[in-house]
Amino acid sequence: MVRTTPVEDPGDLFSRLPEAAPYAWVRRGEGLVAWGEAVRLTVPPGPRRFEWARDRLSGLFGEAHVDDDVTAPGSGPVAFGSFTFDPDARGSLLVVPETILARRDGRAWLTTVGEGRLDAVTPLRDPGRIRYGDGSLTAPEWQHAVARAVRRIRSGLLEKTVLARDLTAVAERAIDVRLLLTRLAARYPDCYTFSCAGLVGATPELLVRRTGETLESLVLAGTIARGTGRADDMARGAALFASEKDRHEHACAVASVREALDPLCAELKIPEDPELLVLANVQHLASPVTGRLPAGTSVLDVVEAMHPTAAVGGTPTGEALGVIRDLEGMDRAGYAGPVGWIDARGDGEWGIALRCAQIEGSRARLFAGCGIMGDSDPASELAEAQAKLRVMQYALEG
């Protein structure tokens, strides 16, 4: 039994969350937050995992008795999901929360599954002092991996790969996910602040939004740190646009998205030149994508076609993934995998899980990655990775 009713504007969505295992997908104050678990589905690993997820959810939602007075994307039953980067890795899951609170386009609503769940909202808790340690590779070891990847690219094996780096963090006390969400949303309002089964972050990269037959995506590739002031910012942005390495990296990412979406879309529009996306810590080359989908196409169909993009995998995909497995030295888990939500109509929003951490009690595993090209410099790539890791360091420390 699923019931969706309009409600008054709830204000800050995160302020309504109980502490235990919250779910979230919010940008500029709009989106969905949720808590409780009516259904948890463990997605079997393998090449057909998205198909399995789509069919299993279709059957589950089809059996539900839905009373929806809103009928908007994100109303009625909704599943939050996180898929591992590697299709053969375990850990992909879908969760239908018991209670979902949403705000979008001037409307707000509450969805309950069964009798819903109204947990007490407690004050946010600071995790205390944070101690950091190396993840799978030390900084010098990671730079060595970048140098090896560059040699393979220069040999002609591939055009681009993406190497990720992890960092461990241990707090004095259990980490309150709500505090991380609140800090991330305030600092990075243009990103999609998300939480799903302990995977928490603020990603700038919208993999796909499906609203009826309309598709939207945002391709990001090519990065430079923010400057010390307006003039420095503008100079860095100009340098990013002029960078042959970054423009080529972006072109590879756009080409991979076009290749994935062309067979799905009746119409597809991608601008000839990228624009500049300025975030609190970095600037990116960005290309907004729009398209029209055939009736009956689920957002998960699009996610399946697009993952992994060149922005998080590389070009060509097969060779790039082989280099990642050889050199990265770690399991990415949900990092750089799809994360988001889907409703019973097949509408939904999914991003790439970037600028994120996996939280478990008082421990966190932080992730960042960099696109590696033939002219990449290991020291510069390490600096870029550290700039990206600071997103979650800020969320933990304030």
Active site residues: 160, 205
Q: Which residues contact 133 (CB under 8 A, 6 or more apart)?
A: 167, 168, 169, 170
- Beta carbons within 8 Å of 151's beta carbon, 6+ residues apart: none
Report the residue count for the chain: 398
CA dihedral of 261, 262, 265, 269, whole degrees rounded to 10: 90
Question: What is the rounded CA–CA span in Å between residue 242 and residue 375?
Answer: 15
Asked whether the beta carbons of 355 and 203 are under 8 A apart, the reply is: yes
Residue 156 phi/psi, 5-degree rounding, is 95, 5
**Residue 62, burial from CB neighbour count under 10 angstroms (0-12, 13-18, 19+):** exposed
Vertex 87, ends 84 and 89: CA angle to 5°? 65
Distance CA 384, CA 227 (A): 13
Beta-carbon contacts of 338 under 8 Å, excluding residues fewer than 6 positions away, are 81, 82, 83, 207, 303, 307, 350, 351, 352, 353
AA letter at 359: I
Is the CB of residue 164 less than 8 Å from the CB of residue 325?
A: no
Q: How many CB atoms lie within 10 A of CB 324?
A: 27
Beta strand 2-6 with 66-68: parallel, antiparallel or unpaired?
Answer: parallel
